[in-house]
């Protein structure tokens, strides 16, 4: 590793879990990446399994993103800095970090306006053809590897990524002190979104889901109430904001009908390409409806919330798996009694 400073002697090869096609995974030996100028080399500690990983494994594609070549999955990652490219300060060596997995071009109009999540040339971990973090080492820009304090565990360092989705969703919904919020879908994203809403000052956070174990988890993690999926709240119980984390058309319809006039609707979950919405309700109540695409400028707040205990990410973890067991981790993630599987590449 010419011109690369390292924390001791590093191996030249690493193990990586590789997706070859639908339902087909294997473990390969690959070269350890060399950090370019302004990059750090990270020894990956923990990687959360996301629904997108499961979808690529089961279907080989998400929309226009198709697995056409071997792909390393995993984008919810944390680890430790073990190598520095040129221009990176020496004190970064040894730091525990959380990785923001989408690297924008930094030059386009969206980037220059701070909306780098909308950069058309963003390179996002585990999105074809970009490899992810189900491997032992990754090289990333130093400013996208955020130092985390000891109060944030290795697992939580990786789970700052889904926490960022929750932060971005609540920002889009305008959640603040005194808000009443309805969240459809009590999977990992819905559960962190509920915790963020409470941290932002919401006085009522209502969760819906079709799975009873997920609703139990929502109540344990701070939801003030739960209702059966598809419930339309009565006018007197209407909420200020509805955040859909399910992607299910019936949940979206019921959620929109549960919002007070001038309230907000945020669509986070990915379901069908097109779903019906009650247009007269949106128009007649002047609801603000928007989608979300990942996040931007969320990591500092995510770290602060996790470090202060305002959000409990470790409570989401229901299993740990090594690189040889990624298929089991993906299967576990589809189980409604589980919440978040973690892949530990050094295991």
In this prediction, residue 169 carries a pLDDT of 98
**Is pLDDT at 36 greater than 90 in this prediction?**
yes
- Complete DSSP assignment for 110-165: HHHTT-GGG-TT-EETTBTTB--SSBSEEEEEGGGEEE--TTS-HHHHHHHHHHHH
* Percent of residues, the chain, with pLDDT higher than 90: 93
Mean pLDDT of the chain: 96
Largest CA distance in the chain: 67
Residues in the chain: 347
Most confident of 1-10, 12-21, 334-343: 12-21
Tell me whether residue 302 is in a domain. Answer: no
Residues 135 and 199 in one domain: no
Residues 22 and 138 in one domain: yes
Query: What is the CATH number for 227?
Result: 3.40.50.720
Range of the domain at 254: 165-291
**Is pLDDT at 328 greater than 90 in this prediction?**
yes
**Is pLDDT at 1 greater than 70 in this prediction?**
no
**Is pLDDT at 80 greater than 60 in this prediction?**
yes
**Is pLDDT at 322 greater than 60 in this prediction?**
yes
Residues 230 and 175 in one domain: yes
**Is pLDDT at 2 greater than 70 in this prediction?**
no
Residues 33 and 131 in one domain: yes
Alpha carbons 236 and 14: distance in angstroms, whole number: 58
In this prediction, residue 236 carries a pLDDT of 92
**Residues 128-184 pLDDT 10s:** 999 999 999 999 999 999 999 999 999 999 999 999 999 999 999 999 999 999 999
Please give the average per-residue pLDDT across 49-62, as a whole number: 95
Instruction: Say which residue, 273 or 207, is predicted with more confidence.
Output: 207
Residues 186 and 94 in one domain: no
pTM (2 decimals)? 0.96
Residues 12 and 147 in one domain: yes
Residues 40 and 105 in one domain: yes
Q: What is the dihedral of CA 97, 103, 105, 110, to 10 degrees?
A: -100
Q: Count the domains in the chain.
A: 2
**Is pLDDT at 8 greater than 80 in this prediction?**
no
**Is pLDDT at 212 greater than 80 in this prediction?**
yes
For residue 30, give the H/E element and its range. strand 24-31
**Residues 257-288 pLDDT 10s:** 999 999 999 999 998 889 999 999 999 999 99
For residue 280, give the H/E element and its range. helix 279-284
In this prediction, residue 290 carries a pLDDT of 98
**Is pLDDT at 317 greater than 60 in this prediction?**
yes
């Amino acid at each position: 590793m010419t011109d690369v400073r390292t924390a001791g002697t590093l191996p030249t090869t690493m193990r990586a879990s590789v997706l070859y096609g639908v339902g087909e995974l294997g473990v390969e030996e690959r070269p350890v990446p060399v950090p370019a100028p302004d990059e750090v080399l990270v020894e990956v500690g923990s990687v959360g399994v996301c629904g997108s990983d499961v979808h690529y494994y089961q279907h080989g594609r998400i929309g226009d993103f198709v697995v056409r070549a071997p792909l390393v999955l995993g984008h919810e990652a944390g680890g430790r800095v073990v190598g520095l490219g040129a221009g990176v300060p020496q004190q970064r060596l040894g730091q525990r970090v959380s990785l923001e997995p989408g690297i924008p071009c930094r030059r386009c109009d969206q980037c220059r306006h701070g909306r780098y999540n909308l950069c058309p040339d963003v390179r996002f971990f585990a999105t074809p053809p970009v490899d992810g973090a189900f491997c032992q080492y990754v090289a990333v820009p130093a400013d996208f590897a955020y130092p985390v304090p000891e109060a944030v565990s290795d697992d939580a360092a990786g789970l700052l990524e889904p926490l960022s989705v929750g932060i971005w969703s609540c920002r889009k919904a305008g959640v603040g002190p005194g808000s009443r919020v309805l969240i459809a879908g009590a999977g990992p994203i819905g559960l962190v979104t509920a915790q963020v809403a409470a941290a932002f000052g919401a006085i009522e956070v209502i969760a819906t889901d079709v799975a009873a174990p997920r609703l139990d988890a929502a109540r344990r993690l701070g939801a003030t109430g739960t209702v059966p999926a598809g419930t339309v709240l009565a006018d007197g119980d209407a909420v200020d904001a509805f955040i859909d984390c399910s992607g299910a058309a019936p949940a979206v319809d019921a959620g929109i009908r549960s919002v007070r006039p001038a309230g907000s609707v945020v669509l986070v979950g990915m379901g069908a390409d097109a779903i019906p919405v009650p247009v007269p309700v949106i128009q007649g109540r002047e609801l603000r409806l928007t989608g979300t695409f990942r996040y931007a400028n969320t990591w500092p707040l995510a770290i602060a919330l996790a470090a202060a205990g305002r959000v409990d990410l470790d409570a989401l973890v229901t299993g740990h798996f090594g690189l040889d067991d990624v298929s089991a981790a993906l299967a576990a993630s589809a189980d409604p009694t589980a919440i978040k599987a973690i892949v530990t590449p050094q295991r």
